[in-house]
Amino acid sequence: MSDRSSRSLWDIFRANVLTLFNAIVAGSFLLLLLLGQWRDALFGFAAVSNALIGVVQEYVAKRSLDRLAVLNSPQARVLRDGDIQDIDVQDVVMDDILVLRAGDQIPADALMLDSAGLEVDESLLTGESDPVQKGIGAEVLSGSSVVTGHGLGSVTKVGPESFASRLTAEAKRFSLVQSEIRHGLNRILRWITVALLPIMAIVINGQMQGQGGWHHAIATGSWKTASVGAVASVIAMVPLGLVLMTSVAFAVGAVRLARQKVLIQELAAVEGLARVDMLCLDKTGTLTVGRIVFDAVHDSGTKPPDGWKQALGWFGTDPNANATARCLAEAFPADATLRPISSVPFSSSRKWSAVSFTAGSSMAGTWLLGAPEIVLEPGTADADSARRTAAHLASTGLRTLVLAHSAGTTAAGRTGEAALPATPVPAVLLTFREKVRPDAARTLSYFREQGVGLKIISGDDPRTVAAVARDVGLDTGGGFDARQLPTDPEELAAVMELHTVFGRVTPAQKKDMVRALQRRGHVVAMTGDGVNDALALKEADIGIAMDSAAAATKAVSRLVLLDGRFDRLPGVVAEGRRVIANIERVSMLFLAKTAYAVVLSVLFGALLWGFPFLPRQLSATDGITIGIPAFFLALMPNPRRYRAGFLKRSLSFAAPAGLIIALAVLGINTYSLMAGHGTGSATRTSSALVLTLIALWVLVVLSRPMNRWRALIIGAMYAALVLLLTAPPLQDFFQFTLLGQEHLTVSVSISLLGCAAVELLHRAHRRHSTTPPLPSSRQV
């Protein structure tokens, strides 16, 4: 199974072309061609153009995302010909020897040939968050992640048979997944589908009766005229461009973000991040640059035993060292002659690592490196003094670890749980610095101004996290120690609402904290880069991985910041807001058209009047009032903040607006019949003029606030209407005629009344669905 990040060309073609509405359009198009009415079949060419635009736009997006996905594709580490090689995941074959290290996502199912403290997180497969130890002979499943330790495994399953293939393909799929917008549009399309057949029956009967009855129409051939009118009413009810505009807006949004080095792994993330009202941030790699620098050695209050520098050198060069321990390598050179008898890799759940040497050597006993409050148990003078010093150092924003020594050994084996040795004695305290991202304060300030809540969640000491938070402008009043978090979901949710900074958070707690915020009704985004963030990122509404993230973390994220720039997020929010606001605006245009088409079809069918438009005339009016302007409006900047209730807001304006247009068209037709003008070319021209003028005013009110580009588009549409009704070649083709003064006066008067009604409707609608304005100083 391919792990491509985008839909195939066939999937794109099927989604844009093989739809129910396109089938209706194709049937109507063929019917008119068979009747010799090719001029009235223009909508068919418009439908083909719509489909082609949709296919091309999505294919362009597909190619852009595929290129980014290749740059971001996961790698596998294998042992071939005695050398360790990094290869693409899809190049892993049966019997390859996988080299597994902490942070790796296992690319294929394998049997362990060697294991040193290997612990695997299988939560993405089983839902169980506790790491599982894997000894020699144990099976490891692709899609799981190495938490601690290292080992070698022989590949037993690859490709579609493995878990990883299915997981990666699903997690990285470019898909127009369910969202509020797409769910709302799908509901509308289902309603239209259900209503279409009975309305078609009413319209066809009305057209036949308007030609003198079924028998007379069939006998005289006037059924052809009735068929043209029926096709016009049916085509008017189908919102052909609505799904197209949604697809194009999403696809163009993805391409725009790709140019900013933001990989969208699911298109709904563009919309989703605009709906976020709570942003959870991992400190390391998000607020800070992710690089830890060794700061200094501090006295622990006791004389350090001999060999402490060599111990630090060993921790710094251990192949399984975490980023913090690796910083020690430059300051403390490794002794190549050291041969430990056992070691325990660092674990985010344990928060310490250990190495043991044989008795009688200068390094005899066990050396421990980890969090002082975890490694040192209170109760002894040395431990209590070291813990107090460590707390003071941590409160200044420095990451603080203790190197401790014990004469005993850890209870760690290849299959057993690791446990601290008895009474470790502090040797030295070590401090490390993290560089705060220069853009972090500005980015967090933006989110606060936008009304987005912020939570800093980290596995580090809460005082250290609080100090970093203060550096980026968050006045937190101190961090909350996650070891004191309640386990009850409701109590946890209450604590989450009260506090901003949390330290000593375990991976399982991060997931529970995200769930607690969601229970309070928040739409939660989570950023992270470590494998310990994968659970929370998967649980969040929007998971955002940094460029330095582990493969497992990227696989479950919706967004990947490929250049690691935290300041990209405001641009992503702006893109999401543009997509949501513009699709809502465009949907009102299309739904207003559907509304007036349904009302006109039912009214004229029930009154047994001929439908007041030819299909070609509706093609022209649709292009002026919806088709052309909608394409531009869907892609323009729009900083409006998101509010739930997209479908209700759209219909609450579109349905009354469509009713106003339908009643105005009914009015001009009633006048024509009463004045003895019949239903000829003049009446159709008057109907088109009334419909277009009021529909253009709908476009005007939905385009507010007006700017130069929107005014230019609307002005061009009014000019197109004048040209359509006055240019002789267009008049002849669309069967329009110059209106007499009386007919023109009545048409314009009815149009002005309709425009006034639309204006009043818009103002009432705006009062009842006002979106809070963005702060003027920091608009997106």
Catalytic residues: 282
Name the token pair of 632: 């531009």
Q: Any bridge partners for residue 684, and if so which?
A: none
| DSSP conformation letters of 528-541 | E-SGGGHHHHHHSS
Nearest to 75 by CA among 170, 166, 164, 173: 164
Helix axes 20-34, 42-71, angle to 10 degrees: 150
Largest CA distance in the chain: 118
**Neighbouring residues of 487: CB distance < 8 A, sequence distance ≥ 6:** none
The 8 Å CB, 24+ separation contacts for 516-521 are 516/489, 516/492, 517/278, 517/280, 517/455, 517/493, 519/489, 519/490, 519/493, 520/493, 520/496
607 by DSSP, 3-state: which?
coil
Q: Where are the beta strands (DSSP E) in 15-96?
A: 75-80, 83-88
Q: Are 233 and 611 in contact (CB under 8 A)?
A: yes
Q: Any bridge partners for residue 501, and if so which?
A: 456
Nearest to 714 by CA among 624, 649, 775: 624
Name the token pair of 151: 């080992």
Nearest to 248 by CA among 12, 592, 568: 12
Q: Are 658 and 591 in contact (CB under 8 A)?
A: yes
Q: Are 174 and 60 in contact (CB under 8 A)?
A: no
Name the token pair of 121: 């997180």
Name the token pair of 713: 């588009």
Name the token pair of 282: 């991992």
The phi, psi pair for 689, rounded to 5°, reads: -65, -45
Q: Are 572 and 267 in contact (CB under 8 A)?
A: no
Buried b (16+ CB within 10 A) or exposed e, 533-563: bbbbbbbbbbbbbbbbbbbbbbbbbbbbbbe
Q: Are 280 and 525 in contact (CB under 8 A)?
A: yes
The phi, psi pair for 215, rounded to 5°, reads: -65, -45
Burial class (CB in 10 A: 0-12, 13-18, 19+), 707: exposed
Nearest to 685 by CA among 638, 604, 620: 620
